[in-house]
Amino acid sequence: MPKSCPTCSRTSNDAKFFGSFCEYCARDKLSARLANEVEVTWCKRCMRIKGKEGFVAPTGRNFETVMGSRFRGYSIHLVKLNRNSVVLDIAEETADGQLSVEKEVGIKYSKTLCDMCYKKSSDYYEAVVQLRGNPSKVERLAASLERYFERRNQFVSKIEREDNGLNVYLSDKRMASEFMSNKRLKPTMSYTLAGIKSGRKIYKNTYALHL
């Protein structure tokens, strides 16, 4: 005996069924169950959006990943990215096969300053590289440091010009050490106590190099 949909009276001769409902009504029910709007946090300075592992560029692919984390248990494909909404293809596995629906979901943007932009705005630094010696070697190494940091999402906070060289202030001391060992440089290290955070002493590193 064919099934009959309790909502629209279509029978299983006319439509595919998911449980006791026809595919049309099952899709409407799925759509109604899903949120109409989701919140996305973005940085007002660099425009990046907040993903599971920090801030990422506002690309379609990254929006798709963020939406995936808002609709857990469904598989999500981004159909279209609009200014204040996304059109998503949202699919659910059921006992009767995959049920999918296309839905426009509004985006409520919540504004913040990401960690990196916050640090930039406050001239944050963890390490100073003192470059002395041959002026053109000093300039080249400073430029190379800047490129190295920016490619890896860190930054140079400021550069001070001294009579005999440059002081380059860097946002990340681990990356500074990594740079030194990659370039096989052997700086003279010193440490300055910068404060105490959760009971641990925090040091700023100084790397002195004579070129």
Instruction: List contacts with Zn ion (CB under 5 A).
Output: 5, 7-8, 10, 22, 25, 43, 45-46, 114, 117
Q: Would you say 7 or 75 has its CB closer to Zn ion?
A: 7
The C-alpha atoms of residue 32 and residue 80 are separated, in whole angstroms, by 20
Nearest-approach distance from CB 50 to Zn ion, in angstroms: 10
Q: Distance between CA atoms of 159 and 170, rounded to whole angstroms?
A: 9
Measured from the CB of residue 24, what is the shortest distance to Zn ion in angstroms? 5
| Smaller CB separation from Zn ion, 99 or 209 | 99
> What is the DSSP pairing of strand 127-132 with strand 200-210?
parallel
* Pick 26 or 142: Cβ nearer Zn ion: 26
Nearer to Zn ion, 58 or 187 (CB): 58
- Within a 13 Å sphere around the CA of 104, how many CA atoms are in the beta-carbon half? 7
| Least separation in angstroms between CB 39 and Zn ion | 17
Quick one: which of 134, 199, 139, 209 has its CA closest to 179?
209
- Non-local (6+) Cβ contacts of 2 within 8 A are 11, 12, 13
Shortest spacing between CB 16 and Zn ion, in angstroms: 11
